[in-house]
Amino acid sequence: MKSIIAALCLAFAASSVAVAADKKEPSPKQKAQQERMKDCNKQAGEKKLKGDARKKFISGCLKG
């Protein structure tokens, strides 16, 4: 029984490492989008927008 539990723990640990290794860095395009989102959120916060007004502002901001 102990050997089965140890084998399961080992298998779980190995699969966790494999999943973590598959995580990729964002592409330059994704990084640019993330920066744009941060900027739009900051601007919306400075304008103290809430709810639908905030959503509308951020949507327009992200489009251009």
Whole-prediction pTM: 0.58
Q: Is residue 39 part of a domain?
A: yes
- Structure-block tokens of residue 11: 């298998």
Q: Is residue 63 part of a domain?
A: yes
How many domains does the chain contain in total? 1
Q: Is residue 49 part of a domain?
A: yes
Q: Is residue 44 part of a domain?
A: yes
Q: Is residue 58 part of a domain?
A: yes
Task: Tell me the three state secondary structure of residue 29.
Answer: helix
Q: Is residue 14 part of a domain?
A: no
Q: Is residue 25 part of a domain?
A: no
Q: What's the pLDDT at 29?
A: 94
Task: Tell me the three state secondary structure of residue 28.
Answer: helix
Q: Is residue 1 part of a domain?
A: no
Q: Is the pLDDT of residue 61 over 90?
A: yes
| List of E strands, 1-64 | none
Is residue 58 within 8 A of residue 44, CB to CB? The reply is yes
Q: What DSSP character marks residue 48?
A: T
pLDDT one-digit tens code per residue, 5-60: 766 667 777 766 555 566 789 999 999 999 999 999 999 999 999 999 999 999 99
No. of helices (H) and no. of strands (E), the chain? 3, 0
